[in-house]
Amino acid sequence: MTTVLELENLTKTYMMGAVPVQALRGVSFGVTEGELVSVLGPSGSGKSTLLNMIGALDRPTSGTLLIKGVDVSKLSDNKLADARKSVGFVFQFFNLIPRLNAEANVELPLAIAGISRKERKARAENALKSVGLADRMSHKSAELSGGERQRVAVARALVTDPSFLLMDEPTGNLDSKTAQEMMDLVVDLNREKQVTVVIVTHDSEVAARTRRTLRMRDGLIVGDEVN
């Protein structure tokens, strides 16, 4: 099995004014292809910081972070932007562009990558189909329910064929029924299409749906369990 994500003694120190805050204090773990992993921890445990590192949105202070074998910890801004293309980021607040419809939102990462309009359209349609939104493609995000928006966000993350899906509190803004459906979708994607998924959450119910759970506390991984 190929390792898609590997962290080695990763640390991150922020400056809060003049006070240094150590958000990550040496995190090490790996994720192999086809895994469904959750990172579970209370707020302040360093989850969000870890999420930003894995999503290549920020650089670690020390340690190495390999995404698909590439050490992204010391990349330039432009190279880091390229590295983001192999991560399918699903945000807690969906982060769709409101003026674009569902299809255009899903096409956006492909447009950024410079892919032709024709190919974009085909791939966006496929991605939206795979999350069950084939009939909502021309709706803008304001015309979609929370669950539908989240699924558009998943489609947008999947459309680039990323090495893994990185989900930030995927059910955080959904009611329990919709949350259930969302988790069903994620589990399905993982099982049917072998999509590697890393979910960062504080919700133990969400973590319970994954096969492996990493527990975080005070900037450290304190547990690595198979559910």
Q: Which residues bind another protein (CB under 8 A)?
A: 52, 55, 57-58, 77-78, 81-82, 84-85, 89, 91, 95, 97, 99-100, 108-109, 111-114, 117, 156, 160
Give least dist CB 105 to another protein, A.
10
Helix axes 146-158, 117-130, angle to 10 degrees: 130
- In this structure, the number of other CB atoms found within 10 A of the CB of residue 52 comes to 17
Give least dist CB 62 to another protein, A.
18
Buried b (16+ CB within 10 A) or exposed e, 178-195: bbebbbebbeebbeeeeb
Nearer to another protein, 89 or 164 (CB): 89
DSSP state of 137: T
Nearer to another protein, 21 or 113 (CB): 113
Residue with tokens 């299809």: 103
Nearer to another protein, 115 or 187 (CB): 115
Give least dist CB 224 to another protein, A.
26
Give least dist CB 3 to another protein, A.
22
Nearer to another protein, 66 or 108 (CB): 108
Q: Which of 165, 225, 221, 214 is nearest to 11 (CA)?
A: 221
- Phi, psi for residue 34 in degrees, rounded to 5: 85, 0
